[in-house]
Amino acid sequence: MCHRQPKHVQRNAVFLISTVSVKLHDLPADDNGTYRNNGKRVWTYGVAREPNGSVKKKFVIKGKLPSTERIPGKQYLEIKRIYQKNNSCEDFLQLVTFAEESGNVANNDLAVLQYIFVRGKE
């Protein structure tokens, strides 16, 4: 797990990031130039906490569930993936995946940072 920002990544790579140490909005500052947003995906799950402490998640919708459709008192977990393209190299992508529960980063404050060359070689 990374507690510091990965820098100068020039290969296909995946990092597990501590969002306590490295904030999500700081991840594009990786010394690889600038990125532009290439889209975002969201998957929403309903969360039920059992009396024994276990957690059950049920898929609700691909996308963000509008607040008008949310059941009051029920918790929801959103899995978010942000796609970014490097401005100087169209084939170089940065993907950030994380979970939010009630607006807070979930899963022990972790995010997955991935670098991918979609065509050509690293």
Quick one: pLDDT at residue 106? Answer: 59
- Each residue's pLDDT tens digit, 66-116: 888 887 877 788 899 999 999 998 899 999 999 887 655 556 689 999 999
Number of domains in the chain: 1
CB of 80 closer than 8 Å to CB of 42: yes
CB of 13 closer than 8 Å to CB of 32: no
- Each residue's pLDDT tens digit, 7-53: 988 889 999 999 889 888 888 889 888 999 999 999 888 877 777 87
Counting residues of the chain whose pLDDT is more than 90, the rounded percentage is: 30
Which residues constitute the domain of residue 109? Answer: 13-117
Quick one: pLDDT at residue 17? Answer: 93
Any domain includes 7: no
Any domain includes 122: no
Structure-block tokens of residue 75: 């918790």
Residues contacting residue 67 through CB under 8 Å, at least 6 positions apart: none
How far is it, in rounded angstroms, from Cα 50 to Cα 44? 19
CB of 23 closer than 8 Å to CB of 39: no
